Every structure is written in structure tokens, then in C-alpha cells.
Chain A
Amino acid sequence: MYEFLKNLDRRWIFLLMFVSVAIPVLFELTFPEKATGLAKAVFDEIEALDPGDKVLMAWDFDPASEGELGPMATAFTYHCATKGLKMYYMSLWPVGPQMVDDNIANVINADFPDLEYGVDYVNLGYKSGYEGVIKVIVTDLRALYTTDAHGTSVRDIPMMRGVESIQHMDLIINVSAGYAGTPEWVLFAVTPYPDLRMVAGVTGVQAPMLYPYIPEQIPGLLGAIKGAAEYEKLVMDAYGGPDPPRKYFKGKLRMGPQLVAHIMIICLIIVANLVYFTGKRRGEVS
């Protein structure tokens, strides 16, 4: 057994990982979620808004990170739509508009058919330039966004009237998977214009980098699928009703495989160390 573990082919590890993710997915293992401070802070920021307040929804992610960020984007849209906020979608990533379209189709069109495009929500689309876009729209949105994603002039969009820059937004919600993303929004929007409020949802690897900005620049932060699951719980408990659709619990559903996989990794580390110390005792390892 020692020799087998010492020279373990990584494909056994891959198989173990596959099983530890597949079983919870197939059997829909879920566990109770408890919201922590940062998720509550995100929820409270949006709760503090009044119906009709403007929210900029910057969806800076792609299909690769949809697994981590999709559920929180869905929950954000649901929360904002329920509160009657005006939603302005945009993206700094080329494939971001597709994520916006998916959100609009799955949440707004499906569960909020009364909301009208151009009056309650608008998709401004993608603009190239990464942080350059932020630097421009923070003082003059219309310098870059003369039309929405579908080619309609912003002058013909009712909810764009009076919106000349993102400083007219009551809140920025940024869902970010990398560059350009939350760090750029913090550097070029929130820090030079402290009146801007922003909350963010990011991937797990990005979250540690953003803790230094909490709570001054980012009052609340959702990190990875755990953050998404916590925020989903808060939103659904407040507004979901007795039997919310399954699509608003994707974060919670994905926490099941995460738990099993984490425990599997812990066991692997313990086994690896046992092998290491056995080898050391036998004099095979210095």
C-alpha cells in the first residue's frame, strides 16, 4: 500500500475528484447555508436602495467562470428586479454581453415579464478598452455609449435620460472574473470618486486580493460560490416566496460538491503526509 501511494498515478486522484463532485451533483446533496458578514453587507447595500434608484450592473466575466459567478449574477438581477431598481447592464469583457443576455432571458424575461426594456432595464453592451472605458464613463458615459447593445440610440431610451455619467448611479454591482474587473473599478471609479458606492462578486482566487479594499471602497464582497450561496439565501429568504424556482439555488446546489471535494482534498493531504513521514522513518526521504 505504501509503495502504491508513494508512486500514485495522478489519474487516481482525478478519478477521486470526479467521483467526489459527481455524487453530490447526481444526488443533489445540499446543506444549509449561513450568511456571513460580507454577504450581509452586500445584501444591505442593495436593500438600502429605493424603487427607481439606478444600479449599474457591470458583468465582467465569461462562460469559463459562469460556474462560480453565474449564480450571484442571477441573484443580483433577481434582487434588483424585485426591488424595482433601474438596471443598467454593461461589460468590459468581449463575451460579457452574452452573460448579460443570459441573465436577462433567465430572470427578467422569465419571472418579471412586466419589466420593460429601456424603461426598467437596458443592456449597454461591451466596449473595448478595459480600464480606459471606466476612466471615460466615470465622467461622460455618452462619450462611449452612444447606442445600447442592440444599436438603439441612447437618446431614444427613456431610462438613459439624465444619465450622463456613472456618477448618476446609486450603486455599482460588479461581477468580475479577472482583468478588467473589480480592482480596476476600485482604482479608476470608486477611489477617485468616493461618492460612488460599489459591491462586488468575484471568483475565489480574486477575493483575497480585494480584502484590503473592504469596507472603504467595497462595503460588501461575495467570494466564489460560497459567497453566491450565502447571498442567494438572503435574497430568497427575503423575496423568494414559499417555493422559489430551482435556478435561484444554483449556488447552494454547487456547495454540495464543494464540501465533498474539500474533504477529499483534506484526506489526500493527510494521506500524502503519512506517506511522507513513513518514507522519512524508513530513511527514504531526507
Chain B
Amino acid sequence: MKRLIPLWITAIAGVVMIVSYFIPFTQGWGEDAGIYFDILAAIAFILGGGNILKIHLKKISDRVAGWGYSVILLTAFLATLFIGLGKIGVHPNPQYPGYTWSGYYRQMDTPFWWLYEYVFKPLTATMFAMLAFYIASAAFRAFRAKNIEAVLLLGTAFIILLGRTFAGVWLTSGIPDDSAFAGLKIENLSVYIMQVFNTAGNRAIMIGIALGIASTSLKVILGVDRSWLGSGEE
């Protein structure tokens, strides 16, 4: 029963979403099924928050290695939660001055806005910026001309790297734009590589992925693939 009910729910929801695409009368049913998931995911936030508290409070109480990070995490989590939910420092909406919590939660110069502008934004931008460093180290380590395919790959990479900057434009600036060899200008070559070779390769991968998604989804809907269900007797 523990596995049977989820299987039936999956099958019914899956079939409803497929059928709703073809039968106009049932179009809303498919959207409703999607909304049910959103409701579940929203409730899962509470579950996740509870798990964070449990795991990290345990780490702090057991004084495991790195418990200081758990203190920082819990402090940041609880502070942001209360400042955001409580709309601390937010002025009421002028249309509803009698209601304390009617203000816009992202009002400028409020503590929540400050947390976003000066903590969240720089931190996420920093993490994203780290990619530049890792790309350089990955390129140094991995791009070796071991065989013909690797040589072709490297050559293409050089064209694209140069073509996406002024260096490529400058290197082939001697070729007139209207000449027969204009296609050999690095910026035009890089566009051509992206629009032809890259597109062809991407299309092939995307078609394979789409078929894989369809097949896996069908297996899940039909109950052929059940390993995601977890424990329990058949």
C-alpha cells in the first residue's frame, strides 16, 4: 500500500497532464496538477527549515569539527527569516496606513533590502565570478592536443575565444567586409561555427535528451521504474 498509492497518484497525474494538452475541456486540470506540486513544494520549505535547525543545532551541541559554521548559518537563517517575515522597518502602504504589514517588503533602506543589497547580492555575484578562475584552471589542465579531434577542438576554441573579443576583429581587420574572403574574418567564423556546427551538435544532444525524458517519464507514469519510490514491499 505504501508504494501502491504513490504509483496511482503518479499515474493519474501523469495521464491527466498528457490528456489536458489535447482536450480543451481538461486544460485546467493539467494546470491544477502543476499547482498542486507548487503547494507541496511550498509546504516542503517548512520541512527543509526544520531539517536545517535539527542538523545544525545537533552539530553545535556535539561540538563537531566546523560547528562554528553552523552557528553562523543558523544566525543568518533566523535573522533573515524574522526580518523578512516581520517586515521589520517597513513603512505601511500609503493606501492602507492603518495596516502595519501592508508595506512593500522590499522597500528601500529597510533591513531586508539592506541584507539583499549588501550581503546576498555580493555573495552570489562572487560565487558566480569564481567560475572565471575555475575555467582557466580547467583549460590549463584538460585541453591537450592528444589526437586529431582534440586538435580540431582546440582550433575551434581559439577561434571562438578570439572571435568574441576585439582581438579577433583586429587580427583579421585587413580582410574587407565585402570581399569574397569576408567569411574568414574571425568574428564571422565564430558566428558561423556557432550557427552551424554548434547548432547541429546541440540539436542532436537535445533530441536525444528529449527522447530520454519522454521515455523516462513514461516509465515513471507506467510504474515500470520504481526505484524513486524508496522502501516498502511491492
Contact = CB atoms under 8 A, between A and B. Distances in A.
> Do A and B come into direct contact in the complex, CB within 8 Å?
yes
B167 A66 contact: no
Contact of A151 (B42, B104, B194): B104
A269 B167 contact: no
A272 B162 contact: no
B165 interface: yes
Interface residues of A, number: 58
Chain A contact surface mostly: helix
B136 A16 contact: yes
B191 A209 contact: no
B144 interface: yes
A244 interface: no
Chain B contact surface mostly: helix
Nearest to B199: A211
A268 B144 CA distance: 11
A212 B161 contact: no
Contacts of B25: none
Interface residues of B, number: 49
A180 to B, nearest CB: 12
B35 interface: yes
A273 B145 contact: yes
Contact of B140 (A34, A63, A226, A269): A269
A65 B198 CA distance: 23
Contacts of B125: 63-64, 66-67
A97 interface: yes
Contacts of A269: 139-140, 143, 154, 157-158
Contacts of B203: 212
Contacts of B187: 34, 36
Interface in B105-163: 106, 116, 120-121, 124-125, 127-129, 132-133, 135-137, 139-141, 143-146, 154, 157-158, 161-162
Given A67-B128, A97-B106, A208 B202 contact: yes
A211 B198 CA distance: 8
B145 A276 contact: yes
Interface stretch (A80-88, A161-169, A255-263): A255-263
Given A21-B132, A128-B38, A132-B38, A262 B144 contact: no
A258 B145 contact: no
B132 A17 contact: yes
Contacts of A64: 124-125, 127-128
Contacts of A18: 133
A273 B145 CA distance: 7
A242 interface: no
A38 B95 CA distance: 45
Contact of A37 (B120, B124, B158, B191): B191
Interface string A116-148: 000000000000110010011000000000000
Contacts of B157: 269
Interface of B: 31, 34-35, 38, 42, 93, 95, 102, 104, 106, 116, 120-121, 124-125, 127-129, 132-133, 135-137, 139-141, 143-146, 154, 157-158, 161-162, 164-167, 169, 187, 191, 194-195, 198-199, 202-203, 206
Interface of A: 8, 10, 13-14, 16-18, 21, 31-34, 36-38, 62-67, 95, 97-98, 101, 128-129, 132, 135-136, 149-152, 207-209, 211-212, 214, 224, 226, 255, 258-259, 261-266, 268-269, 271-273, 276-277
17 contacts: A10-B137, A14-B136, A31-B166, A36-B187, A64-B127, A132-B35, A135-B31, A150-B93, A209-B206, A212-B203, A258-B165, A269-B140, A272-B141, A272-B143, A272-B144, A276-B144, A276-B145
